[in-house]
Structure 1
Amino acid sequence: MKGKLCGLCGKADGEFRQEFQAPSGRQIKNAVSFAHSWVIPGESCRDASECRVKHESVELQKPVRLHGQDMKCYSTEAVLQCFAECSPVRTTPVTVAFHCIPIGELFY
């Protein structure tokens, strides 16, 4: 099984520098964000069989100004979010990278 595993158990290949690999294949830098990447989201707020969250890219909520331009910044990885009709029981800070574009430019 060496080197043929994935998920929360890592790859079991004896290498420890790249153990936090998300389902997308991206390397995650911290344990909390890594664990969150493997959560199976539910379909709705009332879905008791799965977690009541979804993976979603988020917009940074604080203003950013780079090189004299106002920017909008979006997470480069999906993070766990409550469904719109749900309220969180608790929150956990995670570390995620953001990509910023000047306000007014199209983002795809």
Structure 2
Amino acid sequence: MAKKYFIQKTPFVVPTDDGKLIEEHHGNATTNNREISIAHMVAPPHWSEPFQTPTFDEYTYIIKGKKQFIIEGETVVLEAGQSIKIEKNARVQYSNPFDQPCEYLAICLPAFSIENVNREQ
């Protein structure tokens, strides 16, 4: 009988050039799952991404530090122990303008992909 579970021991580490750690545990890059992606991330101090308008819902849970979100023009800051759901098609910018790293989990439904994140130049 085949096992009805899978333990991820070797997440895919997404190559970045901005110092951010992205370990995808489940999703397009690791398990070929297009329905959901689950990633552990660490954003270094003073890190930011360009604005984007993803076609997926994104849930974020902060483990350590703080993270800033600009969602449809409104600035929201989350701290350790807090979480947020950002609905698909919302224009958002993620950043860590603070002096400490921010460790968090990100879950995307459907799974994250470069094609559906729609980052601005």
Q: Would you say same fold, with TM above 0.5?
A: no
Larger relative contact order (Cα-Cα within 8 Å, sequence gap ≥ 6): 2
Q: Which has the larger radius of gyration?
A: 1
The structure carrying a bigger strand percent of its residues is: 2
TM-score, reference length from structure 1: 0.26
